Chain A
Amino acid sequence: MNPLDIARWQFGITTVYHFLFVPLTIGLSALVAGLQTAWVRTGNTGHLRATKFWGKLLLINFAMGIVTGIVQEFQFGMNWSAYSRFVGDVFGAPLALEGLLAFFLESTFLGLWIFGWDRLPKKIHLACIWIVSVGTLLSAYFILAANSWMQHPVGYHLDPATGRARLTDFWAVLTNSTMLVAFPHTITAAFVTAGLFMVGISAWHLARRRHVEVFRPSLKIALAVTLIASLGVAVTGDLQGKVMTKQQPMKMAAAEALYKTERPASFSLVTVGTLDGRKEVFSVKVPRVLSFLATGHFDGKVDGINDVQAAEQAKYGAGDYRPVVPVTYWNFRIMAGIGFLTAFLALLGLWLMRRGRLPRNRWVWRAGVLSLVLPFVGNSAGWIFTEMGRQPWSVYGVLKTSASVSPGVSATSMLISVLALTTLYAVLIVIETGLMLRYVKAGPPSEEDVAPPPPGDDSSAEPSLTFAY
């Protein structure tokens, strides 16, 4: 294997892995903050028990997101030094702002929230988890601004002296049209993730009729969040499709395995191509739907892979500008299919739970538990689609992935890196999942556990910490 392939595999593995934890952190921190707010406002200990239960799971997940994020920050320099030199002037700024504005907030206030239960006034303690939640959103904003610049570079020019990208308009980078649709799409997907995570775990307990007073409210909140967020995902996904058709026509064509330009274009339900993914062999299609998805009109023109390839060759010179079509095609289908499925499941769940009902059918609860897997698959498929669909470019139309890799790092070093990280990540996911399952099964703390200590107790000695490592 050459260094380029190894570096790409490492980026793929570490990024998909990192993004297993990130959306859950984003969505769940807001939901936990909401539950804690409900407790602070009503004094209902059911909400406090729910806050503690979901908060524990949030922390188990948060830790993994934080540590795997460190690799993300530095592998640009390690494996992609040519890329870093080329884009640093533009791309480095949002990353630095993410650290300065978001990471400091998240880590500091998360520490205050974890250890501050008995040290801070109730409302200030509550503010801490909200600040953490805002931190996660800020972080998403800056990193998506950086990624959107790779999809659709704006606010820069190429320095004739160095041949590198130079920032000319930072505001343009922060308000990139690609970012404006990618950000709400990612955030709503994060809420679907947290929603179905809560649905799955609540369903597991409710199937056994355990802790109903905690999990019934959790389930209803989670279903409502999932439904609203799923609709948000669909709407923003649709907007994104139209932006993508304009900005990266090849990615849209590859998402559909549409080889020849069509007007009107049909949406593919199944397309089977040749093994090298270069030609269509068989397909089942719905007429005109792709035209609508891509352009907003039922008779809009959608460019095919072969025509975009010819156009890009004319623009950028000889070369292959086609991504790996089976990868983009199937990941696009997995992503979109799961998007619709989650909306349907949430609606079904709300209907089954209407007016105090608790379904008896075992299969309902099994489906509820299993739905937990969906958003994680959907999120991964979405990122694999959007990153693989941009290939062969690392910065679309400006810098190729093959020209981005570190020239001075040997394949051996890179292999050591990818093997060490993959092995470590594999071990950690087993440990993390085991710990999650343990705390899921243990259920929320009891009424007595969360009751405040009776007054006068412990007055002689300093009280022990309510939370400690």
Chain B
Amino acid sequence: MEATTVWFVVIAFLWTGYFFLEGFDFGVGVLLPVLGRGDTERRVLLNAIGPVWDGNEVWFIVAGAGTFAAFPDWYATLFSGFYLPLLAILLALIVRGVALEYRGKRDEPHWRRRWDRAIFGGSLVPAFVWGVVFANLSRGVPLDARHEYVGTLADLLNPYALLGGLTTLTLFVLHGAVFLALKTAGDVRARAVRIARAAVVAAIVVGGAFLLITQVQHGKPVTWATVAVAAAGLAGAAVAVVRGRDGWAFVGTGTAIVFAVVTLFTALFPDVMPSTIAAANSLTTTNAASSPYTLKIMTIAAVAFTPLVVLYQGWTYWVFRRRIHASHIPQPVPEPAKDPEPAR
């Protein structure tokens, strides 16, 4: 395989890992106001993702930085072209990250309520906008001969892309509900299962429509297979949710997300950003790539360190494998005194 193809696969792998992992913690964030009745229950939800969400988010950072190193033109065009949508994602991730860390640091209802809203919004926005961004990648965008994006924001908000946004949103909400069914116990779990039943129907309708349109308009013969696996994942998830098999349901939603992303990237190859103006303007794995020397160095680093990362991240999930129940949530730490008595 050529080095540029290898790196296309690596980048696709990083994005796939990102959506598989952060997909469920976005879903948990969106479900926070729905599933968490009262502060203790909301803390059950948040503690289910507490030790892992930040590590999940790094997959995005590394996917972005890896694109910068391996395909500088792709990185440059993607981030300058999709400027405002990506700005929205960055702002949301900033707010969300601070909210997750700071929410529990004060035991006051209004403080926590505000951060709850921030976690909800900070999860909802990227869960939707990522779908818009990736749908536009597969659809193609207006690029001129210098590979600069020459469209407007409105061009990015086309119906197909908005359907893509709804697809990631529903898939992530489903993935999050199934994750909570697997990771919690008690009332929260019962509610998560009920939500999952509804969400799986929505995901089949919305996601099915999106994948079918993608296949018909942008697909290749081989992507019929990946679409079929994604669909089977969703169908399997539906069966497992109904039968109360939490682990299998999570495997199902995970498979659906992984193969939906694989479908998009396989359909894209060898383009990385097709131009709707002229095929000659498209960015491809060849014309967007770094030099063979840079790709070689990056390949060595990726081969040496990616397995290690997967290993220790996997270990984290093992350490925190226990289901969380409302009774595990400790009483709030006594509030730090506002104005301690002067003792001199």
Contact = CB atoms under 8 A, between A and B. Distances in A.
A96 B64 CA distance: 8
B316 interface: yes
Interface stretch (A102-110, A259-267, A374-382, A393-401): A102-110
Nearest to B48: A469
B2 interface: no
B319 A468 contact: no
Given A98-B65, A108-B55, A92 B70 contact: yes
B47 A468 contact: yes
Interface string A81-97: 11011011111110111
Given A88-B68, A209-B344, A104 B313 contact: yes
B43 to A, nearest CB: 6
B247 interface: no
Nearest to B105: A435
A66 interface: yes
Interface stretch (A57-65, A176-184, A300-308, A349-357): A57-65
A168 B46 CA distance: 47
Contacts of A462: 322, 325, 327-328
Contact of B65 (A92, A413, A416, A441): A92
Please tell me the size bucket of the interface on A: 35 or more
A163 interface: no
A149 to B, nearest CB: 13
B72 A112 contact: no
Given A93-B298, A209-B343, A408-B150, A99 B316 contact: no
Given A78-B86, A111-B50, A438-B106, A89 B301 contact: no
Contacts, number: 256
Nearest to B329: A468
Nearest to B336: A442
A420 B87 contact: yes
Contact of A92 (B52, B75, B149, B324): B75
B309 interface: yes
Contacts of A93: 69, 294, 297-298
Interface in A423-469: 424, 428, 431-432, 435, 438-439, 441-443, 461-466, 468-469
Contacts of B301: 96-97, 100-101
Interface stretch (B95-103, B173-181, B251-259, B270-278): B95-103
Interface string B39-83: 000010011001111110110011011101111110111111101
Contacts of A90: 294
Contacts of B217: none
A112 B51 contact: yes
A170 interface: yes
Contact of A88 (B93, B290, B325, B337): B290
B69 A88 contact: yes
Interface string B304-326: 01100100110010011010110
A461 B291 CA distance: 60
Nearest to B97: A67
Interface string B143-157: 000101110000000
A84 B62 contact: no
Given A70-B93, A112-B319, A99 B57 contact: no
Binding site of A, secondary structure by majority: helix, strand, loop or mixed?
Answer: helix
A95 B69 contact: yes
A107 B76 contact: no
Interface residues of B, number: 82
Q: Which of B69, B86, B146 has the most CB of A within 10 A?
A: B69
A68 interface: yes
A88 B73 contact: yes
A417 B86 CA distance: 10
Contact of B54 (A87, A111, A466): A111
Q: Which of A66, A96, A428, A462 has the most CB of B within 10 A?
A: A96
A104 B60 CA distance: 11
A409 interface: yes
Nearest to A86: B72
A191 interface: no
A91 B58 CA distance: 19
Contact of B306 (A63, A100, A159, A421): A100
A85 B305 contact: no
A65 to B, nearest CB: 10
A435 B70 contact: no
Given A78-B86, A93-B294, A420 B91 contact: yes
Contacts of A108: 54-55, 58, 309, 312-313, 316
B84 interface: yes
B104 interface: yes
A464 B329 contact: yes
A119 interface: yes
Contacts of B50: 111, 114-115, 468-469
Contacts of B106: 435, 438
A100 B309 contact: yes
A417 B85 CA distance: 11
A81 B313 CA distance: 33
A417 to B, nearest CB: 5
A421 B71 CA distance: 27
B109 to A, nearest CB: 16
B342 interface: yes
Interface in A238-274: none
Contacts of A439: 105, 336
A315 interface: no
A77 interface: yes
B291 to A, nearest CB: 5
Contacts of A62: 101
B83 A409 contact: yes
Contacts of B306: 100
B94 interface: yes
Given A111-B50, A439-B336, A424 B94 contact: yes
Given A68-B94, A89-B291, A166-B291, A103 B62 contact: yes
Given A96-B69, A107-B54, A408 B97 contact: no
Contacts of B327: 461-462, 464
Interface of A: 59-60, 62-64, 66-71, 73-74, 76-79, 81-82, 84-85, 87-93, 95-101, 103-104, 107-112, 114-116, 119-120, 159, 166-168, 170, 208-210, 406-409, 413, 416-417, 420-421, 424, 428, 431-432, 435, 438-439, 441-443, 461-466, 468-469
12 contacts: A62-B101, A74-B64, A85-B73, A92-B68, A92-B69, A111-B316, A112-B316, A115-B320, A208-B342, A408-B150, A431-B102, A468-B330
Interface of B: 43, 46-47, 50-55, 57-58, 61-62, 64-66, 68-73, 75-81, 83-84, 86-87, 90-91, 93-95, 97-98, 100-106, 146, 148-150, 290-291, 293-294, 297-298, 301-302, 305-306, 309, 312-313, 316, 319-320, 322, 324-325, 327-330, 336-340, 342-344
Given A88-B71, A468-B50, A469-B46, 14 more contacts: A71-B94, A77-B68, A78-B83, A82-B76, A92-B290, A93-B294, A99-B64, A104-B58, A108-B55, A108-B313, A416-B84, A465-B329, A468-B330, A469-B104
6 A-B pairs with least C-beta separation? A88-B72, A77-B79, A442-B336, A92-B69, A99-B62, A92-B68
